[in-house]
Amino acid sequence: MSRSSDKTSSKKVPKKKQKEVSEKIKEALVDRQKVQDLIRELDNMGYKSAADTLNIFSMM
């Protein structure tokens, strides 16, 4: 199975969505629960790489 046909494959946050995602991250950083909610939201949107990165930083 090729990676492109894998429904769980990760995609980068598109340039036009980066500001929106950035604002969501800034808002979420004040509350651990909001961070976890945002991680799930990003993952559900298919931005697994962004979700994984945020998860790593939230553990620090």
Residue 10 lies in a domain: no
Residue 44 belongs to a domain: yes
pLDDT-based confidence at 10, cuts 50/70/90? confident
pLDDT digits (tens, 9 = 90+) for 35-55: 999 999 999 999 999 999 999
* pLDDT at residue 8, as a whole number: 56
Name the domain count of the chain: 1
Kindly state the average pLDDT of the residues 12-28.
92
The verdict on residue 45 lying in a domain is: yes
Q: Is residue 7 part of a domain?
A: no
2 lies in some domain: no
Give the domain extent around 24: 16-58
Sorted by sequence, the CB contacts under 8 Å of residue 34 that are 6+ apart come out as: 27, 28
pLDDT band at 7 (very low <50, low <70, confident <90, very high): low
> Would you say residue 47 lies in a domain?
yes
What is the pLDDT, as a whole number, of residue 47? 95
Residue 9 lies in a domain: no
How far is 43 from 49, CA to CA, in rounded Å?
Answer: 8
